[in-house]
Amino acid sequence: MLVTMREILQDARVRHYGVGMFNTFSVEMALGVMDAAEELKAPVIIGSAEGLLNCCDMELIVSMVGCIARRAKVPVALHLDHGFTESLVRKAIESGFTSVMYDRSETPYEENVKCLAEMTEYAHKHNVSVEGELGHVVFDNPEDTGYAYTRPEEVTDFVARTHVDALAIAIGTAHGVYKETPVLDLERLRAIRKVTDVGLVLHGGSGLSDDDFRNVVRDGIQKINIYTDVSFATSQAAHDWVETHDKKIENVSVAMRAAAREAALQKLRLFNCEGKA
C-alpha cells in the first residue's frame, strides 16, 4: 500500500525500529527491494534522487513504483531523495511522490529554514511528507569538502520553524563509497534524539558495519538511506550472469532482481523492522 513517509516513521519511532530507504534506478531494483520487504513483512521506502532522475523520467518512476506499491501488502512510501531545486521538488509533489527531501543543507542556516518552511507548507497541502537536512553530509566528489556535523542546540528551532516530518543529520557518514572506515558520533545522535520527536534520518548507509546499523537504530535513527550497496550488487549480478550464462535480457533481469532482493534483505534484517508491517 502506498503511504506517506510520515506515517511510516511515526510508527518506527514508537516501536523502535529502522526503515530502509532504497534509492532505485530500475524496475529490477524496485521489485527486488519490494520482494525483500514483503518477505520480512517490513515497511519500506523506495526512492530516487535528483541525480538519478537525470537518467530516468520522473513520471516513469512514479508510475513504476506507484504500481508496485499499490500491489504491495506492506506500507511503501515513494520518496524523492536530495531534491536541490525548488522547481523539481514541487514537480515531484505534483507528480505523485508521497515524500520529498528538499536539500538546502549547503546554504546558510536561515536560508535553509526559510526554504524548507515554504516547501513544507506547500507539500503538506498535498499530503506529502518533507525531509530536511541540518548539518551537511558530503557527497562522493572532490568538490564537496564541507562536512558539517549537526549541532544538537539548533535542532529544536529548526524543526519548530520548518515543520519538517523527518530530519537528516550528520554524525559521521558520507555518501558513496567510503575511503576510510567511518566513525559515527553516537553521543551526538543521542543528544539530538533527546531534543526532538521528529523522525531522524541517516544518509550514507552503504558501507557501514552491522554493528553501526544496530547502534544507530538503538539510539534513535528511524530512516536509513541505502543506494550504493544495492546498486553495486545489482550491476554485478548482471555482469556475472552474462559472463557465466547467457546474454538473454530476460534472464539478466531475473538475476538483477534476485541480487537486489538479497542485498535489501541483508540490510533490513539489521534494522529491527521484520514483522512491523
Residue-wise pLDDT for 126-139, tens only, equals: 999 999 999 988 65
Catalytic annotation present for 140: no
Q: Average pLDDT for residues 176-194, to the nearest whole number?
A: 82
Across the chain, mean pLDDT equals 92
Q: What's the CATH code, domain 5-268?
A: 3.20.20.70
Q: 3-class DSSP state for residue 144?
A: coil
Residue type at 131 in one-letter notation: E
Q: Average pLDDT for residues 218-231, to the nearest whole number?
A: 94
For residue 43 the three cell numbers come to 515497511
Q: Average pLDDT for residues 43-63, to the nearest whole number?
A: 85
Dihedrals φ, ψ of 36, to 5°?
-65, -45
- Lowest average pLDDT, out of 178-187, 193-202, 256-265, goes to 178-187
- pLDDT greater than 70 at residue 230: yes
Confidence band of 175 (pLDDT split at 50, 70, 90)? low
- pLDDT greater than 70 at residue 143: no
For the annotated binding site for Zn(2+), the residues are: 82, 103, 133, 175, 203
For the annotated binding site, the residues are: 82, 103, 133, 175-176, 203-206, 225-228
Q: What is the pLDDT of residue 52?
A: 79
Q: What is the DSSP string of 57-69?
A: -HHHHHHHHHHHH
* β partners of residue 45: 21, 77
CA 172 to chain centre: 17
- pLDDT greater than 50 at residue 141: no
Kindly report, residue by residue over 62-121, the tens digit of the pLDDT.
898 889 989 999 999 999 999 999 999 999 999 999 999 999 998 999 999 999 999 999
Q: 3-class DSSP state for residue 257?
A: helix
Q: Of the listed 81, 212, 219, 229, which one is catalytic?
A: 81
Greater confidence (252 vs 141) lies with 252
Residue type at 241 in one-letter notation: W
Q: What is the pLDDT of residue 142?
A: 39
Q: What is the pLDDT of residue 180?
A: 63
This prediction has a pTM of 0.93
For the annotated binding site for dihydroxyacetone phosphate, the residues are: 176, 204-206, 225-228
Alpha carbon distances (Å) from 15 to 105, 180, 203: 29, 33, 21
Give the residue extent of every domain in the chain.
5-268
- pLDDT greater than 90 at residue 49: no
- Asked whether 8 and 82 are in contact (CB, 8 A), the reply is no
